[in-house]
């Protein structure tokens, strides 16, 4: 299938002219950062008899590269900080929340239900239920849509959703043979039995099992998959570096302009207060071109410079029924409208979730690509993003792999991730989804748009897409 995909994409009628001009056009277009609110007259997506669900507020800790300022903490510390930041920003009474849902990927064994531990640490009532979900890089997306479901079904009116990832300290296990020996040793009743079991332990048992960001079904790391996907779609190293540079440059401009208002300051116990992401580092194509391939050596195109980095961070959003939010005196930021989850081949199409999710959510909401004012797509790798954009702009791919008559089209880059993305801001696996939705809402408010489209890929060949509608200003 991979060879067919490679041949077909390289020979399909994809308009690639925009790729060459992508960075230049995006880097010189700064008007979107200072855009004045221009009222729109598009229809609302409200449906008769369907409860309106709103995003009231969203916050996140600064996203930091793993092994830096957060390195001595635990995941629930970051999640607790995000929850406390949300309480401070909204003023919502801790007893007014009906439920808490958090997403995470690599779980700390001591706090397997990190939602509950973080909630208790943040001072929420012990009567408020909390549970943790995991769905790879769309874990907090799943947390948010779980919240939507709880409210839509009438079970709750007020739900806090969020996500956390802590890559500075991941669980490292003993080998399976060693684990079996230790469990048997724990059951031994006499000293003789214990000595006999200890005598069976071999040096090879002591080799640890290190966690790997790899697909269980294919044993391939996501970086390798990104490299193969970029090759299949003919995405060059230069194009990937240009896109990564765009992400860092736009993130820096947004940060300097004070647009990243979801970031809260966090006093790290025993260390300094952090108030900014530390991965935003605009460079140059010349410097980026010096880096060697990170996964497929020596001829790969995915490098540390055009990939998202291992990140520590947490996010939290307050989601309510519109009726409840207004009754409590809140002015919501946005409506959370239609959403879809998709899944496809985890070997050759691991990172194409946005390509499959975008047309489905547009059809579900009755919108077209032209109706969307703001796009917020997760940037796992520059090659992954550009492969998705090429796939979305390909009739051949739509007809061959998606069962569609025609392509959905590629988003306008003037609307796409204009405040930076995961390549620059960072990507705590379980927390990125809330950042995407909150950023989409903030951009709609700043730019005067009505509809935002959030999309992300995830391990396992899965993906998510959601429509966010601006709340009337």
As annotated, the active-site residues are 137, 457
Structure tokens belonging to residue 224: 């390798």
Question: Are 3 and 395 a contacting pair, CB within 8 Å?
Answer: no
DSSP summary character for residue 389: H
DSSP character string of 393-457: T-HHHHHHHS--SS---PPPGGGBSBTB-HHHH-B-TTTHHHHHHHHHHHHHHHHT-SEEEEEEE
Helix segments in 162-296, DSSP class H? 176-187, 191-199, 222-232, 237-256, 285-288
| Residue pointed to by tokens 């989804």 | 433
Angle at 393 between CA 399 and CA 220, to 5 degrees: 80
Question: Are 165 and 106 a contacting pair, CB within 8 Å?
Answer: yes
Which 3 state secondary structure label does DSSP give 292?
coil
How many H-runs (helices) and E-runs (strands) does the chain carry? 16, 12
Question: Are 452 and 418 a contacting pair, CB within 8 Å?
Answer: no
Which 3 state secondary structure label does DSSP give 265?
coil
């Amino acid at each position: 299938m991979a060879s067919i995909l490679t041949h077909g994409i390289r020979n399909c009628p994809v308009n690639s002219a925009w790729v060459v001009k992508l960075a230049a056009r995006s880097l010189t277009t700064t008007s979107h950062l200072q855009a004045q609110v221009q009222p729109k007259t598009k229809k609302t997506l409200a449906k008769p008899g369907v409860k309106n669900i709103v995003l009231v507020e969203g916050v996140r800790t600064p996203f930091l590269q793993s092994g830096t300022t957060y390195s001595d903490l635990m995941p629930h510390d970051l999640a607790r900080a995000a929850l406390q930041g949300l309480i401070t920003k909204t003023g919502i009474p801790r007893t007014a929340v009906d439920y808490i849902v958090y997403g995470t990927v690599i779980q700390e064994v001591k706090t397997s239900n990190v939602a509950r531990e973080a909630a208790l640490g943040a001072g929420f009532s012990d009567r408020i239920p909390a549970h943790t979900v995991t769905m790879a890089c769309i874990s907090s997306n799943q947390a948010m849509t779980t919240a939507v479901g709880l409210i839509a079904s009438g079970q709750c009116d007020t739900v806090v959703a969020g996500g956390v990832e802590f890559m500075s300290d991941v669980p490292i296990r003993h080998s399976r043979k060693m684990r079996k020996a230790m469990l048997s040793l724990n059951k031994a009743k006499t000293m003789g039995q214990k000595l006999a079991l200890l005598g069976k332990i071999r040096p090879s048992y002591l080799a640890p099992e290190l966690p790997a960001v790899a697909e269980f079904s294919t044993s391939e790391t996501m970086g390798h998959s990104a490299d193969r996907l970029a090759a299949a779609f003919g995405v060059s190293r230069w194009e990937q570096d240009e896109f990564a540079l765009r992400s860092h440059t736009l993130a820096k401009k947004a940060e300097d302009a004070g647009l990243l208002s979801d970031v809260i300051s966090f006093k790290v116990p025993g260390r300094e207060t952090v108030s900014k992401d530390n991965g935003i580092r605009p460079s140059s194509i010349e410097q980026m071109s010096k880096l060697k391939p990170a996964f497929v050596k020596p001829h790969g195109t995915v490098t540390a410079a055009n990939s998202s980095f291992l990140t520590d961070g947490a996010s939290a959003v307050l989601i309510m029924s519109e009726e409840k939010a207004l009754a409590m005196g809140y002015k919501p930021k946005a409506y959370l409208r239609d959403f879809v989850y998709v899944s496809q081949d985890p070997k050759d199409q691991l990172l194409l979730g946005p390509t499959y999710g975008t047309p489905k959510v547009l059809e579900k909401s009755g919108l077209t690509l032209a109706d969307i004012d703001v796009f917020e797509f997760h940037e796992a790798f520059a090659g992954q993003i550009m492969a998705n954009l090429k796939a979305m702009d390909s009739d051949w791919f739509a007809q061959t792999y998606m069962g569609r008559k025609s392509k959905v089209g590629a988003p306008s880059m003037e609307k796409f991730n204009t405040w930076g993305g995961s390549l620059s801001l960072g990507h705590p696996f379980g927390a990125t989804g809330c950042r995407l939705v909150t950023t989409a809402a903030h951009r709609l408010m700043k730019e005067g748009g009505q509809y935002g489209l959030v999309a992300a890929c995830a391990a396992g060949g899965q993906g998510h897409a959601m429509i966010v509608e601006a709340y009337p200003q």
